[in-house]
Amino acid sequence: MARHLAIGCLVALALLPACLSYEGFLEKRLARKCEQQEVCNPDIPCFDVDTGEVPPDDCDFDAGMARQCLAGAWTCDDRFVGFEVPIPPQACATVCGGL
């Protein structure tokens, strides 16, 4: 019985979504941005200005919106030929409650 309970707990833990912190979100957002930059224009290197960004004091971090941001449909701003850049999904703007 205890063995079945332990196996059940392991299965339940495996099915839970991983916790996502604000800092983890920033790392994953950069990786997603770089993937999309390759699609938009592979000749433009992907970089992120490291501002030491931390959640603003009034940020109510929404991990669900962060996941939607990362999984959503990213597009390309192609208004200026040769300078195409990624456009994140709208959910990215609401990760801190719309701040």
Backbone angles phi, psi at 35, to 5 degrees: -60, -45
Local structure of 69: helix, strand or coil:
helix
* pLDDT at 91 (0 to 100): 94
Q: How far apart are CA 6 and CA 2, in angstroms?
A: 6
Local structure of 18: helix, strand or coil:
coil
Per-residue pLDDT of the chain (99 residues; tens, 9 = 90+): 544 444 444 443 444 456 899 889 989 999 999 999 999 999 999 987 666 666 777 788 999 999 999 999 999 999 999 999 999 999 999 998 765
Q: How far apart are CA 90 and CA 78, in angstroms?
A: 18
pTM above threshold 0.75: no
